[in-house]
Amino acid sequence: MSGHGAPIDELRERLRGAGSICVLTGAGMSAESGIATFRDALTGLWSRFDPAQLASEEGFRADPALVWGWYAARRDGVRRAAPNAGHVALGAFARRHPGRLTVVSQNVDDLHQRAGNAGTIRLHGDILEDRWLEACKRRPACDTLTATPGTPPRCAECGNFVRPGVVWFGEMLPAGALEAADAAAERCDVMLVVGTSGAVWPAAGLAGRARRGGAHVVIVNPQPSEIDDEAHTVLRGTAAQLLPALLDGL
Ligand code: APR
């Protein structure tokens, strides 16, 4: 598998010798699976929808039906999507080299998990997961599966709304996720940063943490990102093109 061009061949040697590899992914990782990114001009969700209205607790409380409907449509899109060659290359590498690869994702889809990276650290939650809007005060807590169907479903006991298990703007990341991601970034020998604009923190800070920890940082993105300065190598291409070229056969 030589002859991919100097940067790829050099990186393959680095990856071959790396005891620990961390992969930070963003929406661009799933773009070739047909899932829209957030900030790509015109196609990005935030160029068509207002994040404050659709991805915040205030927005949900202001119009639960609108927000639930929007997530229901995105959920359908995720269920119809399939892992692309980039997801598959990461899953296959992890199977060949158990314990050497840690995937840290900002994505709320389940394509990494479906491709074999079951241990993916999810920084921004899971779009297919249901949660109560208010913490249920009953013990044992009511199960969202028992919610009365609707847009959105509600608790038959107390009227509590069901909301998607994603991290909305202004909310805390899932407990332990950032700590685990920080640890993976700190210990890795190589970090691949794939398909993120680097616009959202604290996720965007993981590239700098890896660099300060001595890792070789590689960015995979067809466009410039806000964290290109943290990279030792920038590869202008897509996830489905470049991840197989970097990892297959290793
Ligand atoms: N392969 C690799 N990168 C791609 C591809 C592709 N096929 N297609 C687009 N990209 C790049 C774009 O150039 C862009 O830099 O993916 C990036 C997507 O950036 P965003 O849309 O900003 O997505 P992301 O960085 O994941 O956003 C972070 O913001 O809205 C919140 O919670 C949401 O997790 C999300 C967070």
Evaluate: CB of 27 within 6 angstroms of ligand 1: yes
End-to-end CA distance of the chain: 9
Neighbours of 214 (CB within 10 A): 10
Q: 139-172 as b/e, with b when 16 or more CB fall inside 10 Å?
A: eeebebeebeeeebbbbeeeebbbbbbbbbeeee
Tokens 């009227």 belong to 159
Q: What is the pTM of this model?
A: 0.95
Decide if 97 is catalytic.
Answer: no
Q: Which residues of the chain have pLDDT under 70?
A: 1-6, 41-43
Catalytic residue among 87, 112, 124, 216: 124
Evaluate: CB of 199 within 6 angstroms of ligand 1: yes
Residue range 190-212, pLDDT digits in tens: 999 999 999 999 999 999 999 99
Q: Whose CA is nearest to atom 36 of ligand 1?
A: 200
Evaluate: CB of 33 within 6 angstroms of ligand 1: no
Q: Whose CA is nearest to atom 4 of ligand 1?
A: 28
Spacing, Cα 166 to ligand 1 middle (Å): 16
> How confident is the model at residue 42, as a pLDDT?
60
Evaluate: CB of 90 within 6 angstroms of ligand 1: no
Residue range 207-232, pLDDT digits in tens: 999 999 999 999 999 999 999 999 99
What region does 151 belong to: left with phi over 0, alpha with psi -120 to 50, or beta?
beta
Spacing, Cα 176 to ligand 1 middle (Å): 23
CA distances from 242 to 34, 79, 193, 250 (A): 17, 25, 12, 14
- Residue 146: helix, strand or coil by DSSP? helix
Nearest-atom number in ligand 1 for the CA of 44 is 21
Evaluate: CB of 225 within 6 angstroms of ligand 1: yes
- Candidates 95, 110, 93, 97; CA nearest to 29 is 110
Nearest-atom number in ligand 1 for the CA of 198 is 25
Helices (H), the chain: 6-17, 28-31, 45-48, 51-54, 57-62, 64-80, 85-96, 111-114, 177-187, 205-212, 239-247
> How confident is the model at residue 4, as a pLDDT?
56
Choose one of 32, 87, 221 to mutate for the ligand 1 pocket test, by most ligand atoms within 8 angstroms of C-beta: 221
Evaluate: CB of 124 within 6 angstroms of ligand 1: yes
* Torsion sign across C-alpha atoms 175, 126, 92, 25: negative
Report the distance separating Cα 169 and Cα 227, nearest Å.
20
131 is written with which tokens? 């949660």
C-beta pairs of 59-65 under 8 Å, 24+ apart in sequence = 59/168, 60/133, 60/161, 60/163, 60/168, 61/133, 64/151, 64/152, 64/161, 65/151, 65/152
214 is written with which tokens? 């001595």
> How confident is the model at residue 2, as a pLDDT?
47
Dihedral angle over CA of 167, 168, 172, 174, nearest 10: -10
Evaluate: CB of 37 within 6 angstroms of ligand 1: yes
Report the distance separating Cα 151 and Cα 133, nearest Å.
13
Nearest-atom number in ligand 1 for the CA of 86 is 1
Spacing, Cα 40 to ligand 1 middle (Å): 7
Element spanning 3, H or E:
none
Spacing, Cα 203 to ligand 1 middle (Å): 12
